[in-house]
Amino acid sequence: MNTPLDGRQATAIAQAAQALADGRLLGLPTETVYGLGADADNASAVARIFSAKGRPSNHPLIVHVAGATEAEWWPAVQHYATDVPDFALRLMRAFWPGPLTLILPRREVVGAVAAGGQNSIGLRCPSHPVAQAVLHAARPLGVWGVAAPSANRFGRVSPTTAAHVVSEFEGVLSDTELCVLDGGPCDVGIESTIVDASRGHPVLLRPGMLTAAHIEAVCGQPLRARDEQAPRASGTLESHYAPQAKVRLMDAQQIQSALDVLGTDARHIAVYTRSRVNSASKHLVQRAMPDDAAACAQELFAVLRAFDDAGVKLIWIETPPPAPEWDGVRDRLQRAAA
């Protein structure tokens, strides 16, 4: 059993930074979800991320860079990217460190494996203090950035605690291959918002807790929707983020009617709703969905995992409200249900 290191300890940070410099993999806490990280410039370490996840090698990874200020993150941006458009710089200044990933034209000589062969690269400066501490400590050891997809097996629910990371890679990666840093439960809970800034105008590739309106206000131009020219991206596959149980999105009345039909027979079913629903069954697994989108995002993946752990076969979820602050949560739930 892999025992996570306590990310509040300076010795743990030093050990994790050394693991990255040595070409090992690191379970890295960020404010969004935990990542499975490696030195982005170490092709064989990055290749091991793809194989451990079971992820196709042409699905590009996000590279995480250190920096509390522009003076700190800008050199790392320049290490990986070129031709950074003005609107992208404005977005970085407004939202970094934070839950925003920018796709930028890639410098040809760096990060090819991490970029999955694309001529662009995804960059993010995370705000989690433990992530920042490791990225800072790894920098003098020659690590410019840490390539890290979410630390889950391909297609499954992203991890939001160190224990989730350990359980994802149990039997896949040994304790010497994987070092996990514990930074507590993630604050945001769903993955970063991704904006493609490699095509001259901003394109939203993946919604997150930074909404389209936040981004447009800073860009000063409309955010376009993704089209068929956008590169293949795991988080944009129709089916993704799926727990073992089958997920269905329904409105509250549909869930109530289905429970009424089953009566005392509702077994192996979990419901996650904002509205009150009642069941005559003692076996129903029930959990209230927060009315607040941020609170829902924060707990969402842990709730889906807990339903799986309870052994349910079906998860009935009340469709999130149509409001823009729910875009990120709605997107994850639609993919989980696909």
Q: Which is nearer to ligand TXA, 88 or 266 (CB)?
A: 88
Q: How far is the CB of 291 from ligand TXA (least distance, A)?
A: 24
CA 218/CA 10 separation, integer angstroms: 36
Number of H helices, E strands in the chain: 10, 15
Give me the least distance between CB of 99 and Mg ion, in Å please.
Answer: 14
Q: CB-wise, 147 or 219, nearer to ligand TXA?
A: 147
Tell me, what DSSP letter sits at residue 2? P
In this structure, what DSSP letter does residue 24 have? -
- For Mg ion, how many residues bind (rule: CB under 5 A)? 1
Could you say whether residue 256 binds Mg ion (CB under 5 A)?
A: no
Q: Is the peptide bond prior to 60 cis by the omega test (within 30 degrees of 0)? A: no
Beta-strand relationship, 120-124 and 100-105:
antiparallel
**Total chain residues near ligand TXA (CB under 6 A):** 29
By the rule CB under 5 A, 150 interacts with Mg ion: yes
Residue 30 makes contact with Mg ion by CB under 5 A: no
Per-residue x/- mask for ligand TXA, residues 55 to 84, rule CB under 6 A?
Answer: ----xxxx----------------------
> DSSP per residue over 103-133, as a string?
EEEBPTTS-TTTTTT-SEEEEE----HHHHH
164 binds ligand TXA (CB under 6 A): no
- Sequence-separated (6 or more) residues with CB below 8 Å from residue 276: none
Which residue, among 221, 230, 227, 228, has the nearest Cα to 201 in the 3D structure? 221
Minimum CB distance to ligand TXA, residue 289 (Å): 22
Cα dihedral sign, 14-17-23-26: positive
Q: Is 103 in the site for ligand TXA (CB under 6 A)?
A: yes
β pairing state of 314-318 and 269-273: parallel
Binding of residue 193 to Mg ion (CB under 5 A): no
Give yes or no for residue 202 binding ligand TXA (CB under 6 A): no
Is residue 181 a contact residue for ligand TXA (CB under 6 A)? no
Residue numbers 4-43 binding ligand TXA by CB under 6 A? 30, 32-33, 35
Task: Choose which of 234, 273, 298, 319 interacts with ligand TXA (CB under 6 A).
Answer: 234
Residues forming contacts to Mg ion in the complex (CB under 5 A) are 150
